């Protein structure tokens, strides 16, 4: 299959590279010439484990190319995927679809008859129909097909998620056997591995994506509230999560308490599905509660840190370890650190920060941090340390060395990475999440 991928960001670049690994002929297009220039030089503009070698291998094999011009790239494509951003619209939380619609018009102008335009961006119900309308209006003489194929990959494990997904969801219009055939051919390497490939109508596919993200967000807010309850009643949230997670109806994934969900998707997608529901007159009270719990969570984390520092952080130095919204990505979009660190600074704290990959994106968003080259440099002279994001290299700190570098041994672990007894043995006043018995004053 000849595939064009419009948008070469976290999803477009991974999806394009993986499709080329399947053996398809792929061209990845981005409107940002700087992104394409870097890719053409063999540089990967984002941090995603395994992506560099995947891209390099497929470029070398002649199956993967990059371009800035949509018209040329889509001219002989069997399928064109739209993988542009759908951020929250300022003010109302709706998904901002302007990039999707602009891409649709550009594709329709240049695509050939029979081309299948596939929406991979996360978009509200009705978007495929609107893309179809744009195609008809832009190129009334062409027979273009519009399908929906939401993406479920996670940053940090994007390649594995794409290559071995739990399922693939494809939405096609009633009777559109051509679009179905093209999507089946594209995903054939996965069907050989017996990955379920689910065909639905387009509205259902569009809603599956939001419902999946919203459900996972609900799970996280749920366990965060249970963690709070554990602290009040003297239970251990790790045990509770394990005890409920072993029930196959519940499942053990996405039950890790922490500073609240962040990232480019859960925050914006929960808001977008709430707006869809509001407009449809069918409120989603559970998702609404999960969003409110998550907002409050970040403020609660600030209070927790201040309390652990004796009730006042004025004039104190805090080492912030891990700033990205999760490990193994450089993505800072809606990272909890963006809410937590400025609040500590506003109360008079100085922040010494370390993140393995997030600095370039974080620097413009978080002014006045003292950036450090490694975790120990961040801990030097600190009155307290806060572990915000559980990067592997932050999971095995040399506690004796850390303690010697710090002015006071106060450690606030927002991801429950460390065994409390180990922290106590190393002389730390330790505060984690939902493990009251492990916390030491």
Q: Which does 135 bind (CB under 5 to 8 A by kind): ligand NAD, ligand UGA, none?
A: none
The alpha carbon of 233 is separated from its chain's Cα centroid by a whole number of angstroms, namely: 33
Residue 51 interacts with ligand UGA (CB under 6 A): yes or no: no
Residues 6+ positions from 390 with CB-CB distance below 8 Å = 322, 327, 415, 417
Residues 214-253 that bind ligand UGA (CB under 6 A): 216, 220
Q: Which does 85 bind (CB under 5 to 8 A by kind): ligand UGA, ligand NAD, none?
A: ligand NAD
Q: Which does 86 bind (CB under 5 to 8 A by kind): ligand NAD, ligand UGA, none?
A: ligand NAD
Residue 215 or 401 with smaller CB distance to ligand UGA? 215
Cα–Cα nearest to 57, from 30, 22, 29, 91: 22
Sign of CA dihedral 63, 38, 389, 216: negative
Residue indicated by tokens 């950036």: 371
User: Of the listed 18, 135, 265, 372, which one is catalytic?
Assistant: 265
Residue 268 interacts with ligand UGA (CB under 6 A): yes or no: no
Q: How far is CA 99 from CA 119, 190, 231, 270, in A?
A: 12, 29, 45, 20
Q: Which does 103 bind (CB under 5 to 8 A by kind): ligand NAD, ligand UGA, none?
A: ligand NAD
DSSP for 173-223 reads: -TT-HHHHHHHHHHTHHHHHTT--EEEE-HHHHHHHHHHHHHHHHHHHHHH
In whole angstroms, how close is the CB of 38 to ligand NAD at the nearest point? Answer: 11
Distance, CA of 291 to CA of 289 (rounded, Å): 5
By CB under 6 A, name the binding residues for ligand NAD: 6-12, 29-32, 35, 70, 83-86, 99, 102-103, 106, 121-122, 151, 153, 155, 264-265
Strand partners, 321: 354, 387
Catalytic residue flag (residue 115) = no
Residue 9 interacts with ligand UGA (CB under 6 A): yes or no: no
Please, what is the end-to-end C-alpha distance for the chain in angstroms?
62
At 295, list the tokens.
């907002």
Residues 86-145 that bind ligand UGA (CB under 6 A): 122
Residue 254 or 376 with smaller CB distance to ligand UGA? 254
Q: Which does 9 bind (CB under 5 to 8 A by kind): ligand NAD, ligand UGA, none?
A: ligand NAD
Classified as helix, coil or strand, 257 is coil
In this chain, which of 63, 202, 304, 326 binds ligand UGA, going by CB under 6 A?
326
Distance, CA of 277 to CA of 285 (rounded, Å): 10
Chain positions contacting ligand UGA, by CB under 6 A: 122, 151-155, 213, 216, 220, 254-256, 258, 261-266, 325-326
């Amino acid at each position: 299959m000849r595939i064009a991928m419009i948008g070469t960001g976290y999803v477009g670049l991974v999806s394009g590279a993986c499709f080329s690994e399947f053996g398809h002929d792929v061209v990845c297009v981005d409107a940002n010439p700087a992104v394409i220039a870097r890719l053409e030089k063999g540089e990967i503009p984002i941090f995603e484990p395994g992506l560099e070698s995947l891209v390099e291998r497929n470029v070398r094999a002649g199956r993967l190319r990059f371009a800035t011009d949509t018209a040329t790239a889509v001219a002989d494509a069997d399928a064109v995927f739209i993988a542009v951003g759908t951020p929250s619209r300022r003010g109302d939380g709706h998904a901002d679809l302007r990039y999707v619609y602009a891409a649709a018009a550009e594709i329709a102008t240049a695509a050939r008859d029979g081309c299948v335009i596939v929406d991979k961006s996360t978009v509200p119900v009705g978007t495929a129909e609107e893309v179809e309308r744009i195609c008809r209006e832009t190129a009334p003489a062409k027979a273009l097909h519009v399908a929906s194929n939401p993406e479920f990959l996670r940053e940090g494990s994007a390649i594995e998620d794409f290559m071995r997904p739990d399922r693939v969801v494809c939405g096609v219009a009633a009777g559109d056997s051509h679009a179905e055939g093209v999507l089946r051919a594209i995903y054939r390497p996965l069907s050989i591995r017996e990955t379920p490939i689910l065909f639905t109508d387009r509205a259902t596919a569009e809603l599956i994506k939001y419902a999946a993200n919203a459900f996972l967000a609900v799970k996280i807010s749920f366990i965060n509230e249970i963690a709070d309850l554990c602290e009040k009643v003297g239970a251990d949230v790790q045990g509770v999560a394990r005890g409920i997670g072993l029930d196959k109806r519940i499942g053990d994934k996405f039950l890790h308490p922490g500073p609240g969900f962040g990232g480019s998707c859960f925050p914006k997608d929960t808001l977008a599905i709430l707006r869809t529901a509001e407009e449809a007159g069918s409120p989603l009270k559970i998702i609404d509660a999960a969003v409110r719990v998550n907002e409050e969570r970040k403020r609660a984390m600030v209070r927790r840190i201040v309390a652990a520092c004796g009730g006042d952080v004025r004039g104190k130095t805090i080492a912030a370890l891990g700033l990205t919204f999760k490990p193994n990505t450089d993505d800072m979009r809606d990272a909890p650190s963006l809410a937590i660190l400025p609040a500590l600074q506003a109360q008079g704290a100085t922040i010494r920060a370390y993140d393995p990959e997030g600095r370039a994106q974080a620097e413009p968003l978080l002014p006045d941090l003292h950036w450090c080259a490694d975790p120990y440099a961040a801990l030097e002279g600190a009155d307290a340390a806060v572990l915000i994001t559980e990067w592997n290299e932050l999971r095995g700190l040399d506690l004796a060395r850390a303690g010697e570098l710090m002015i006071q041994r106060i450690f606030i672990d927002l991801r429950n990475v460390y065994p409390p007894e180990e922290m106590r043995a190393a002389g730390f006043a330790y505060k984690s999440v939902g493990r009251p018995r492990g916390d030491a004053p």
